[in-house]
Amino acid sequence: MRSLPLADPGTPPTTGPGRLLWWFARRQWGIQTTGLALGITLMGCQALLPYLVGHAIDGGLTHGFGTDLFRWVAALLALGVVSSAAGALGHRYDVACWLRPAFTASELVGLKAARSGHAITAELPTGEVVSAVANDSLRIGELYANLSRFVGSVVAYGVAAVLMLRIDVTLGLVVLLGLPVVAVVLGRLVKPLHRKQAAQREASGRLTTLGADTVAGLRILRGIGGEAVFTGRYAAQSQEVRRRGVAVAGTQSWMDGLQVLLPGLFVGLLLWLGAHRALAGTITPGQLVTTYGFAAFLAWPVQNATIMLQAATRAWVGAAKVLGVLRVVPATGVRAASADSPAPGAALVDETSGVRLEPGRLVGLVSADPDEAAAIATRMGRFDDEAEAPTPVTFGGARLADLPKAEVRARIVVAEATPHLFSGRLGVELDVRGGAGDDELHRVVALADAHDVLDSVPGGLEGDLPEKGRSLSGGQRQRVALARALLVDPEVLVLVEPTSAVDAHTEARIAARLAQARRGRSTLVVTASPLVLEHVDEVQLVADGRLVARGTHDELLDGAAGARVAAAYQRIVGRRLDDEGEDDGWGAATDGTAGPDEDDEHDDVVEDVYARREGGER
Amino acid sequence: MKLPVADAATVRRYAARLLRVHGSELSRLAVLHTLGATAGLVGPFLLGRVVDAITRGTTGGYIDRMVAFGLVMVVTQAGLVRTAQRASIVFGEKVFAQLREEFVETLTALPLSTVERAGTGDLVARTTNDVNRLQHAVRFGVPRVIVATVTITLTTVACLLLSPLVAVGLFVGVPSMVLVVRWYLRRATPAYLREAAAYASINGTITETVEGARTVDALSLGSRRHATVRDDLAEAFAAERTTLRLRTVLFPAIDLTFVLAPTSVLLWGGWLASQGRVTLGVVTAIVMYAYQMSGPVWELIFWLDEIQVAATALSRIVGVQLVEADREESGERPVDDRITARGLRYAYREGHDVLHGIDLDLVPGERLAVVGPSGAGKSTLGRMLAGIHPPTGGSVRLGGVPLVDLPLDDLRGQVALVTQEQHVFVGSVADNLRLADADATEEALRRSLAAVDALDWVDALPEGLATEVGSGGAALTPAQAQQLALARLVLLDPHTLVLDEATSLLDPRAARHLERSLSAVLAGRTVVAIAHRLHTAHDADRVAVVDDGRITEIGPHDELVAAGGDYAALWHSWQHE
């Protein structure tokens, strides 16, 4: 069997589910055809079995224990061996035909998720993307796995039809037409059952959610009590699932009974017709046995046809869902680049606000509104060409959106305020570009003051980080993300609130080292922390989306940029010193100055500053 | 710390207890299924009789009577199958509901320390995957296994009754089949578990990729994520290949058994018939029985596999019951609200003390800030003071009684711990609040929300207090979630609060909105605040500096600054002086 995943998942058509399914089929026509041949062999052999058994019985009846019986038994044996082999080998091909499209679809979805930037989350809920891999891809595969049995069943039905009609036309017609009728009747009855089962599955799903939710919040629950409330709710939902289950039991048991009754009555009818014919001598006793055997056997191809119908429906739906993911347009880099990359040492400029990052500088970006500063920093990373079109950022004079995307990513790295940590070996997860030695890893871990992480992850750099770095505290996660960004060591590094969850002592240390480590390269830090700002080359103060002042931390504080700027700046960075509630203080009651009133006052000042600047320009 | 997994003997004892408790119902089910399966044996038997009758010569009336008898049996069997299946499913639902409710009750009663340390991943997996696996086996598997076993047994018995001599031919393939099935079952469980784990890991990778899409883009991790997906797929393929190999052995082995059985019956029966020892009708019936048996045998093997998987799930579910309690109520009552720690030590791993003999007296009503470098033991101290973990040395007493000797309900009314962790429970806003006080009136709920300044937005929700929140419900901001947590504290009304960086994960603006909420909760209580911002310390009544598991300095802010120690140095650097 060819190993999966395939070396190249290929480029599927995205025009429609039918085209996609056909694309998968064409790509594996070799194994698919072999699978079909084996399916036909298996089902054909099975169709011949009742015929041979009948002949063996007749042989024994007419010639006793002799060559006639031996011949038919030998044929049965041979047929059995061929059918076993075809069954086992066919199963291997069926699995191959199933896995190849299923895994290819999964990989294509994964590839799309990995290459679309935030477009994927903007357009689809996470659950739907995961379900495209967890369910839909597998459903697509099942179509191809069931195909061989289905085609084999059609052939077997034909073989049985010919053999039965040769024995007796009436008996043949009863068998060939009666079974599908029984299947259709049972199929109709199945609908209400499916409805009730779906109702139970839904209730059961809610129960699972409730259970998972209890556990996810268990640490909190155990801290405050409320277990009884929770177990009570869980028990109520559990009993609801049970009630639904009992409702299913009613329908299900009727269905089970009918599955015995209808084929049973059918076989009874057949036996009665056949026995009278055998008695009249128009068929042999062996042919009566064959008729009985076919009645039992033919239920199988009919069932396979039903399964195929369901599989095809589900594959179609699955293909449509997978296409939903594959059609997502990446947030950046869809258009071909139209500008050449600037030479090293280019300035990065946010044209809208006027914020500039000159080569080799360490700049602090400060705003009264942290969201505003973060938004400016984020667009410097070019995360969404379409959304950022009205707020262009230039790099060495060229618009970021016009540059080759790979070039932008290689030279400019933006680490956002809530960076995501991925599960995997800590050392590998830190080293996103690959190739860093242990020394370098330890250097950036030291730089970000994250030694304690090495202790809390069993195995240190060689140890495994769980999903989202969940075993780490918030502060630890932040420092790991910082170390990761520092290790990339790009020409331009933009950090958004890199130390917001870190204690003062540590923050001071990180800030001092950051300046050292980034010497000679361009760095922009969004922060309002004086501990960081006192280490930057220049602070750029933004208000209402515009750059209003620039200077060193001390200059801005001392009024070199004007008393009003100094007051506004003092308000913002001072907030970190005085304002309790921002972090884990005692609340407003202990601090008469913090509160909404102060907010308003502060906004006024910023407005004044802004108005003055505008006026000056005019 | 990993949660325990029950060993085979414990699981067997547990299953045996279930069987004992439900013995009478189970035997009733077995009787019903047996009767149903007996009626189902009539087809081949009649066929054989008819073949013999025709060979000997008979009348149409005989055939009519035989077929009529057959039809009566079919109707009887259908009725019995219906009753038996219904009873089985209803029984399965009852037993399983009981089992999962018991499990969740155990879960929510786990020692605080276990829950704190075990992490949620393992517990969530047990509550969802393991419970569902077991449910699948109990709901569908157990009835099918009963039916299959009974059918196989009865069919064999029927063959033996018809002619023990001919029936011997049935068993030709059995020894090899038993060997192969044993070989298969020994390997199947780990192989299928590996398969399930591989698929879970693909889903995990996709989830991470989608959730971290921004970070993937920012750090150009696309190729790496793609490679991870490929690695996961390769592992799933390897697992699939392993199980496929197992089936490639199993399938033909069983198929061949059902080729050998009828052919040997035909040959052996044909010879016996030629000797006049049996009739060909009997041989016909047994051949048909042989074919008829392959269905239940396949079903049994399929379910044995699933039941093995379910047994592993059960061992993890029962395992939770093995967690030992970490405390025992002594029945002593605290004399006052004063919390004192003496010689407090704690080690997560034996021999590695995180706290080295801490003495601390909390003054009722005071605000104590705990500061110090990361990893100094601040959070551990906080957990000890809140009675989460029993100390490994020394004691924390409340009014003279060790905290961990208090009944949990009582303890929570006295000391509560608030961490940066947030969780909005699935349910209404009122449900979320009533966790703290099940009997709270709506008036009380509204008062608690008003106290934390959350009443306005709660009233603005589509259905106010009755609005569904949490996973799948209305989305709350982190600040709103934290306000709900604070409102719970108002309802809980403990005299002492331990805040472990309770708002440090909120962005600065959200945190600002929480100021007033927090102050309402803190008013009139003893508060221990573990802080990473020094202004918290500045406004506290006392500051405790924790370094390397010891309190190195303690006292009012001004005194510590005047003393010129570590705290003073830290403060000056913070103040830029």
Q: How far is A247 from chain B (nearest CA, A)?
A: 9
Q: Looking at the complex, does the CB of residue A92 fall below 8 Å from at least one CB of chain B?
A: yes
Q: Are residues A311 and A357 in the same domain?
A: no
Q: Is B325 helix (H, G, I), strand (E, B) or coil?
A: coil
- Contact predicate B503/B420, CB 8 Å: yes
- Contact predicate A6/A99, CB 8 Å: no
Using the predicted structure, report yes or no on whether residue A527 has a pLDDT greater than 70.
Answer: yes
Q: Looking at the complex, does the CB of residue A229 fall below 8 Å from at least one CB of chain B?
A: yes
Q: Looking at the complex, does the CB of residue B367 fall below 8 Å from at least one CB of chain A?
A: yes
The answer to whether the CB atoms of B532 and A504 lie below 8 A apart is yes
User: What percent of chain B is modeled with pLDDT above 70?
Assistant: 94
Residues of chain A neighbouring B263 (CB-CB closer than 8 A): 73, 76-77, 80
Q: Are residues A231 and A96 in the same domain?
A: yes
Q: Residue A583: its pLDDT value, please?
A: 41
The answer to whether the CB atoms of A223 and B425 lie below 8 A apart is no
Task: Compare CB distances from A121 to B210, B386, B438 and report the shortest one's residue.
Answer: B210
Does residue A429 lie in a domain region?
no
Q: Residue A581: its pLDDT value, please?
A: 38
Task: Return the CA Rg of chain B.
Answer: 35
Q: Looking at the complex, does the CB of residue B518 fall below 8 Å from at least one CB of chain A?
A: yes
Does residue A191 lie in a domain region?
yes
pLDDT in tens, A533-591: 989 999 999 999 899 999 999 898 888 888 888 888 888 887 544 443 344 445 443 33
Q: How far is B9 from chain A (nearest CA, A)?
A: 27
Domain with A378 in it: what CATH number?
Answer: 3.40.50.300
Task: Compare CB distances from A238 to B55, B101, B128 and report the shortest one's residue.
Answer: B101
Q: Which domains does chain B have, with CATH numbers?
A: 8-322 (1.20.1560.10), 339-575 (3.40.50.300)
The answer to whether the CB atoms of A4 and B237 lie below 8 A apart is yes
Does residue A472 lie in a domain region?
no
Q: Looking at the complex, does the CB of residue B287 fall below 8 Å from at least one CB of chain A?
A: yes
Q: How far is A615 from chain B (nearest CA, A)?
A: 30
Q: How far is B295 from chain A (nearest CA, A)?
A: 11
- Using CA coordinates, name the residue in chain B closest to A244: B93
Res. A309 pLDDT band, cuts 50 70 90: confident
Does residue A12 lie in a domain region?
no
The answer for B 93-122 residues in CB contact with A (under 8 A) is 93-94, 96-97, 100-101, 104-105, 107-110, 112, 115-116, 119-121
Using the predicted structure, report yes or no on whether residue B349 has a pLDDT greater than 80.
Answer: no
The answer to whether the CB atoms of A114 and B237 lie below 8 A apart is no
Query: Token digits for A583?
Result: 């972090």
Strands B352-361 and A464-465: unpaired
Using the predicted structure, report yes or no on whether residue A595 has a pLDDT greater than 60.
Answer: no
Q: Residue A474: its pLDDT value, please?
A: 74
Q: How far is A121 from chain B (nearest CA, A)?
A: 6
Q: Residue A214: its pLDDT value, please?
A: 79
Q: Residue A609: its pLDDT value, please?
A: 37
Q: Looking at the complex, does the CB of residue A205 fall below 8 Å from at least one CB of chain B?
A: no
Task: Compare CB distances from A107 to B229, B251, B576 and report the shortest one's residue.
Answer: B229
Task: Compare CB distances from B435 to A226, A468, A488 and report the shortest one's residue.
Answer: A226
Domain with A149 in it: what CATH number?
Answer: 1.20.1560.10
**Mean pLDDT, residues B315-321:** 87
Does residue A470 lie in a domain region?
no
pLDDT in tens, B78-131: 999 899 989 988 988 898 898 889 988 888 888 877 776 666 667 777 887 788
Strands B496-500 and B526-530: parallel
Domain count, chain A: 2
Residues of chain A neighbouring B387 (CB-CB closer than 8 A): none
The answer to whether the CB atoms of A235 and B101 lie below 8 A apart is yes
Please provide the average confidence, as pLDDT, over all residues in chain A: 85
The answer for B 299-358 residues in CB contact with A (under 8 A) is none
Q: Are residues A48 and A129 in the same domain?
A: yes
Q: What Å distances lie between residue B188 and B237, B249, B306, B329, B465, CA to CA?
A: 16, 12, 9, 46, 51
Q: Looking at the complex, does the CB of residue B60 fall below 8 Å from at least one CB of chain A?
A: yes
Q: Are residues A386 and A512 in the same domain?
A: yes
The answer to whether the CB atoms of B575 and A76 lie below 8 A apart is no
Q: Are residues A193 and A297 in the same domain?
A: yes
The answer to whether the CB atoms of A271 and B47 lie below 8 A apart is yes
Using the predicted structure, report yes or no on whether residue A607 has a pLDDT greater than 70.
Answer: no
The answer to whether the CB atoms of B374 and A120 lie below 8 A apart is no
User: What percent of chain A is modeled with pLDDT above 90?
Assistant: 43
The answer to whether the CB atoms of A261 and B263 lie below 8 A apart is no
User: In 3D, which of B493, B495, B513 has the Cα closest to residue B503?
Assistant: B513
Q: Are residues A375 and A281 in the same domain?
A: no
The answer to whether the CB atoms of A117 and B216 lie below 8 A apart is yes
Does residue A440 lie in a domain region?
no
Q: Looking at the complex, does the CB of residue A278 fall below 8 Å from at least one CB of chain B?
A: yes
Question: Position A373: which residue type?
Answer: A
The answer to whether the CB atoms of B78 and A130 lie below 8 A apart is no
Residue A566 lies in domain: 348-418+490-614
Res. A127 pLDDT band, cuts 50 70 90: confident
Task: Compare CB distances from A370 to B224, B505, B508 and report the shortest one's residue.
Answer: B508
Res. B425 pLDDT band, cuts 50 70 90: confident
The answer to whether the CB atoms of B508 and A528 lie below 8 A apart is yes
Does residue A222 lie in a domain region?
yes
Task: Compare CB distances from B209 to A56, A114, A227 and report the shortest one's residue.
Answer: A114
Q: Residue B71: its pLDDT value, please?
A: 93
- Contact predicate B151/B44, CB 8 Å: no
Q: How many CB pairs under 8 A join A and B?
A: 560
Residues of chain B neighbouring A512 (CB-CB closer than 8 A): none
What's the rounded Cα separation, in Å, for the pair A148 and A483?
A: 54
Q: Are residues A410 and A306 in the same domain?
A: no
pLDDT in tens, A417-463: 878 899 889 999 999 888 888 899 999 999 998 888 887 787 888 88
Using the predicted structure, report yes or no on whether residue B217 has a pLDDT greater than 80.
Answer: yes
The answer to whether the CB atoms of B504 and A264 lie below 8 A apart is no
The answer for B 177-236 residues in CB contact with A (under 8 A) is 199, 202-226, 228-230, 233-234, 236
Q: Are residues A62 and A100 in the same domain?
A: yes
User: In 3D, which of A133, A465, A177 has the Cα closest to residue A325?
Assistant: A133
Q: How far is A612 from chain B (nearest CA, A)?
A: 27
Task: Compare CB distances from A110 to B209, B533, B536 and report the shortest one's residue.
Answer: B209
Biggest CA-to-CA distance, chain B:
121
What's the rounded Cα separation, in Å, for the pair B325 and A225?
A: 17
DSSP line for B19-62: HHHTHHHHHHHHHHHHHHHHHTTHHHHHHHHHHHHHHH---HHH
Q: Looking at the complex, does the CB of residue A257 fall below 8 Å from at least one CB of chain B?
A: yes
Residues of chain B neighbouring A372 (CB-CB closer than 8 A): none
Q: Is A144 helix (H, G, I), strand (E, B) or coil?
A: helix
Q: Are residues A179 and A257 in the same domain?
A: yes
Q: What Å distances lie between residue A346 and A365, A397, A522, CA to CA?
A: 19, 8, 9
User: What percent of chain A is modeled with pLDDT above 70?
Assistant: 93
Residue spans of beta strands (DSSP E) within A276-392: 348-350, 355-357, 362-367
- Contact predicate B119/A219, CB 8 Å: no
pLDDT in tens, A239-248: 999 999 898 8
- Using CA coordinates, name the residue in chain A closest to B122: A215
Report the C-alpha dihedral over residues A228, B110, A210, A239, rounded to 10 degrees: -60
Q: Are residues A314 and A362 in the same domain?
A: no
- Using CA coordinates, name the residue in chain B closest to A434: B224
Query: Token digits for B467?
Result: 């609005």
**Mean pLDDT, residues A474-498:** 91
Q: Are residues A322 and A355 in the same domain?
A: no
The answer for A 333-362 residues in CB contact with B (under 8 A) is none
Q: Is A340 helix (H, G, I), strand (E, B) or coil?
A: coil
In the DSSP assignment, the letter for residue A436 is -
Task: Find the distance separating the first CA and the last CA of chain B, reported in whole Å.
Answer: 45
Does residue A425 lie in a domain region?
no
Q: Looking at the complex, does the CB of residue B430 fall below 8 Å from at least one CB of chain A?
A: no
Q: Residue B160: its pLDDT value, please?
A: 93
pLDDT in tens, B138-187: 877 887 888 899 899 999 999 999 999 999 988 988 899 999 999 998 99
Q: Residue A494: its pLDDT value, please?
A: 95
Q: Are residues A145 and A218 in the same domain?
A: yes
Q: Residue A586: its pLDDT value, please?
A: 54
Q: Residue A24: its pLDDT value, please?
A: 96
Residues of chain B neighbouring A225 (CB-CB closer than 8 A): 408-409, 412, 435-436, 492
Q: How far is A608 from chain B (nearest CA, A)?
A: 22
The answer for A 143-182 residues in CB contact with B (under 8 A) is none
